[in-house]
Structure 1
Amino acid sequence: MESGHSGEQPKKLNFDNLLRRTKHVWDNSPQPVKEFPWNRAFGNFIQLVLDLAISVVKFLFVPILAVSSISEMSYCAHERKLALVPFPLVIGMVVAGVLQETALKISPRLKEAEVPWHLIAMMMFFTLIKLPGPYYPYWGRLLVPHFANGVLLRALWSMFFWYKKTRNTSGNPLQNHSLETE
């Protein structure tokens, strides 16, 4: 079948051709489109996507942590090692506290940040340690997920107070001043 163009070969879609067509469209676009602050719009879009992702993670994290913790404790109960659960849990909480304090000492800007990126990074890292829990050797299956749960619980607790602190400090300055004088 012929494509309708008798003498032309179909052009290949390659990067140079794509750039040429993009430049052609940009050159033929009206001036208001060219003057639009595209970089700022792109930055706002990325910020919106990140905020949505953080909101989804924030609301899904607690139920997933609860269900997986119950599952891991039921495995420990099945193995008759439930008495060992508090030890790695407490050690994980202590390690999370040390990691949080270290992050705040290393980067003082984190104290004023709206989003606790250090806590989010810590939660992602220890979630990745926790996920392969059933595939660890015997003692690893019993101890590592509970250690990670301790870190995650402490990070979740710290994140709760972090958002509570930022909500209190980002309010109306007149209200904050009137609360301080009373």
Structure 2
Amino acid sequence: MAHKISSPAVSGLKVIKNWPSYNRPTSCMLTLKRNGICRASPKIQCIMNMVSGESNEPRKLRLEYVLDKSRKLWDNAPEPVKSFPWNKASENFVQLILDLVLAVVKFLSIPVFTITSVSEMSYCAHERKLYLIPIPFLVGVAVAGVLREAAVASSPSLKNAEVPWHLIAIAIFFTLLKLPGPYYPFWGRIFVPHFANGGLLRTLWFAFLWYRKPGKSSSTTAPECVAQCQ
């Protein structure tokens, strides 16, 4: 006798085929094969492509709408607004923001530096490693001097610059070394923060000398001008 082999997929197909017409789905979204694997039909792929293509269109329309409105607004603007030096005003605004940031950093750097240094020294005292602090501190002082000399040698115009950008860059470098101090390993927490403290202290001293130059030059030139006038 020949035995009939019936698989679940085939029986499922038979059941679907024997459904009444009012119970059948109107459109088949998935194709069922005999091995039981369901694959997306071309209808699903077309719908997905249509959705992905239409999702970017509203953004493009909004951007084009905003650009069009800005062009019309600029074209309808009065002549004094168009002739206003907007580029120079933006440069002055950026310079003003930088000056404010530098002023805030200048007044907050010393208190923050003092508090963090005391905290790091207290940790070394707790671990009984206080006698090791001078070694990384002096190394940081020496490295800060080397970096300053290298920056001035590479660009001599920094000596007469209005803003000591090389000192700011050196201070940022040592600050980035100092900030993750609590996350270093044991010996890293002992050496790296105090190395950064030495570099920052030397950089602050360089900045103090830098901002002292204009007052010094004005005080020396004032008696000369008085003598010439007399």
Q: Tell me which interval the TM-score lies in, with the shorter structure as reference length.
A: 0.7 to 0.9
| Matching of residues 135-146 of structure 1 within 5 Å | 135-146=183-194
SS in structure 2 of the partner of residue 80 of structure 1: coil
- Range moving further from structure 2, 13-22 or 135-144: 13-22
Alignment partner for residue 119 of structure 2, among 48, 67, 71?
A: 71
5+ residue gaps, structure 2: 1-57
Q: Say what the alpha-carbon RMSD is for the aligned residues.
A: 2.1
Distance change >3 Å, CA 152–CA 17, structure 1 → 2: same
Matched, 1:84 2:132: yes
Distance change >3 Å, CA 172–CA 37, structure 1 → 2: farther
After TM superposition, the runs of 4+ consecutive aligned structure 1 residues lying more than 4 A away are: none
One-letter amino acid of the structure 2 residue matched with residue 118 of structure 1: H
Q: Deviation digits for residues 6-38 of structure 1, max 9, x if unmatched?
A: xxxxx8673222211111111111111111111
Counterpart for residue 147 of structure 2 = 99
SS in structure 1 of the partner of residue 162 of structure 2: coil
Q: Deviation digits for residues 22-70 of structure 1, max 9, x if unmatched?
A: 1111111111111111111111000000000111111111110000000
Higher relative contact order (CA 8 A, sep 6+): 1
| Matching of residues 12-161 of structure 1 within 5 Å | 14-161=62-209
Whole-angstrom distance in 2 between the partners of 1:119 and 1:167 = 19
One-letter amino acid of the structure 1 residue matched with residue 135 of structure 2: F
5+ residue gaps, structure 1: 1-10
**Identity of matched residues, %:** 56
- Range moving further from structure 2, 40-49 or 171-180: 171-180
Counterpart for residue 177 of structure 1 = 224
- Range moving further from structure 2, 110-119 or 172-181: 172-181
Distance change >3 Å, CA 180–CA 118, structure 1 → 2: farther
SS in structure 2 of the partner of residue 14 of structure 1: helix
The alpha carbon displacement at 1:114 in A equals 1.4
Q: How many residues align?
A: 170
